[in-house]
Structure 1
Amino acid sequence: MAMRRVRSWVAGGLLLGAGGLAAAGGCGAREYDCAEEVTCEIVNANGTSNGHCWGQCVYPPGGKFGEPMLVWTGPETFAPSCEDLTWVVPGTDEIIRPSSGTPKLLGRALPRVELHCPTCACTVPSCALPSDVTAVSLAMCGDGPAETRTPFAAPPGWDGACVSPGWGPPEQLGSLLIGSIIERPCEPVVEESPVPRDAVAGEVAIACPSRVSTTLCAQMGQTCLVYQQQNSLPEAWRQCVSIEGLDTACEAPAAAGDPWPRFSEKLAVFYKGVEDTRACTPCTCKPPATSRCEAFMSAYMDSACSDWLVGISVTTQEVCVAPGPAPMIGSLSATWIVNEPGRCTPEGGVPDGAREPEEPVTICCLPRER
C-alpha cells in the first residue's frame, strides 16, 4: 500500500503529517524534520516518490545579528519589490512567494566608479580693431551746447582694409574720437564631458522577510529556512543576516564535513546613509600674463583711402585726434603694429568634495552553493 504524507503552511512554518512512512536512505518511520527532508527523499512501497519538504537547516546567527532575511543587491533603479520574489518548488508546480510589500532598505554601498571630470581647454584670445569711430563737432572731443557726435564706425569684424562708412562734412568734424582696441578674451571649452552623477551611484541592499522555523530541525537551536535553499534563489538574492552600526566580521565558515552552513560570507560594506558631495570644478580660463595689441589708424577725406587726413596709434584706450582746418572724412584704414594677444591657461575640471558614509551595516550571507 502506498504511503503518503500531508504538507501545509502554518504560521510561517510547516504542519507535518504523522502517517506511517516507508523510508529510504536511512530515514526512520517517524515525522520528518526539516533537516531530514532536505537530505532524505520519501519513497513509497511501489517505488514512486512523494517528493520532500524543501528547506535548509542552518546554524542561527551569533551575537546581535537579526533574523535571516532574503537580501537583494544591485543598482537602486532596478530594485525589485518583495512581491517580485517567486520561485517554483523543484519537482512540483507549487509557486512560492515568501513575502509581499515594500522591501526594507538595509543600506547603500559607496559608489564604485570614480568621478570622472571633464578635460578643460581655452579658445585663443584675439586683438580686434576699434569698432567705434565718432566725428565730434567740437575741438579735442569736448562737450558743449553746440556739440554734435556723428558715428563713423567700420563694420563688425573689420580687418583694417579701406572702408567708407559715410561722409563727415567740415561742420561735423572738429575732432575725431577713436575707440580702444578690443582685447577679446578666451572662452573655456569642455573637451570631454564628465560621467553623469547617476552613472557613478553605488549599489543598495534591500531585504524581504524570510520564512523561518525554529522547530523543524533535528539539532536543537538550529533554524530552518522553510522552502529556501541558496542555490534555488533567483539571481542577485541571498539568504543573509545583518547588524546595524557596526562594520564587523561575519561568522567563521562551517567546519569541513559539517552539513549545516553558517552566515559566513560578508557582502560589501553598506551604510545607512552616504552623502556624496563630489563634483567637478567648472572649466575656466586664466588670462594671459602679457597681451600686446596696437594698431595705426588712418582717416581719409575721400572714399577710397587715397587723400590722407590724419593718422594715430591706438591701443587699449580711446584717443582723440584733431584733423586740421575744414576737413572732410570719407574713409578709414588700419594696420597692426603689434598683434600678440597671448595665450590663456585652462583651469578647473578637478574633482572636489567627498563621499561621507554614515552608520555601517554588516551583512553576512550563506555561502553560494557550487
Structure 2
Amino acid sequence: MRSVRQRGLAGLWLLCFGGVAAVSGCSGAGAYDCAEAVACEIRNDDGTSNGHCWGQCVHAPPDSFGAPELVWTGPEVLAPASCAELVRIVPGTGERIPFGGATRTLFARAVPEPTHGCPACACTAPACALPQTVTARSIEACGDGSAGTQTSFLLPAGWDGSCVSPGTVAAEQLGSLSIGPAIWEPCTPIVADEPPQPLAGGVGEVAVACDSVVEDELCPGQGELCMLEQQPAHLPDGWRHCIVGAGDLGCQQPEGGADPRKIFSDKLGVFYVNLETTPGCSPCTCEAPATSRCEALVVAWEDGACSDVLVGIDVNERQGICVDPVSGSTLSSVSATWLSNEPGTCKPRGGESRNDRVIGEAKTVCCLPKALEAP
C-alpha cells in the first residue's frame, strides 16, 4: 500500500500545486485528507481554475475482494478497449486531463440469455380408473390383519364397470371381502416433435476494470481508503466505483450506523473470465391438478349375472374398503358405477431455454450504491 500511497500523493501535489500562484480550499502542504482532496479546487490570482483533485472515501473491502477499482459494465459491443476514456475534467474550462497510469485488469462476461428456442411441452389427460382388486378371505379379517385363505377376482384390464364374473367364491371361502381404491391415473409429459427455434437473444454484458489509485491515510474513518480518481458525478457512463471478488459472493451491507455511501453494497452480478456455456432446455413436466375426485360404487353379487346383491361399497382414490358379508354368502360377479369421475386438468411445465452448463472463473462485482454515491 505504501507504493500506492506515494503514487496518489504525487498526483495530488501535481494537480494542487503545479504552476499555482494562489490556492483556496487546500489546508497546506502534506495536510490534505480525502474530503479536502475531493473539494481541492485550485484557483489562480485572477480567479481562473487550474484543475480539481477528485477523491472518494470508501470502506476497505473484505478479504475476499481485491482493492477498489473503477469498473465498466454494459454490452460487449460497447466495451472500452482501454482506460483512456477515464479523464478528469477541469471545472470552468472543460479541459480533459488524462486519467493516467491505469491499466485494464479485468474482462469478464455475464452469463448470456439463451438464444435458442425449445420444443413445446404438453400433458396427457389424467383419468379416473375403477378398482383393479377384489379379494375374498376365508375368515372375517377386516381390521385385524389376518389373511386366511385368499381368493382374488381377476378383473379385466380397462374395466368399465359392466358386470363381470371371473369365477365363484364359495361360502366357506368368503369370511371377508376387500375392494381396492379407485385409481387416479396421472398425466404424463409430452414433448412436441419439432426442432428448437432460434430466438432473438439479448446482447451479452461484460465487465471491464481499471486500476484505481488508493491511499490508506487520507480518510478520517477507521479502515477507510481514499480512491484518488474520478468522483461518481464525473465518471463516464457505465463506470462505477467497485470491488471484485473471486466466486459468487455477497456484497457488504451497512452495519452499526456506517455511511452507506462508502460501502460496496450494490451487487452488479457475477461475471466470468473464460466463460463457456452449453445451451439446453428445462425438462417437460406436468403439474397435478389442484382438485380431482374419483369415486365409484362397486357392487358384489352372489350370482354370476349381477342380479342378486351381496354388498355395495363406495370407494375413492384415497382408500379401499373391507367388509364382512353375511355368513353363508357366495361371490360370483362384480359391477361398478361412477359416482364422480372428475380427474382434473394438468398444467405443462418446462420447455424453457436455459444454459445447461456454465464454466469459467466467476467474479462478483460489488459497487457503491449509485443513488447514494457521495457527491
TM-score for both structures, normalised by structure 1: 0.47
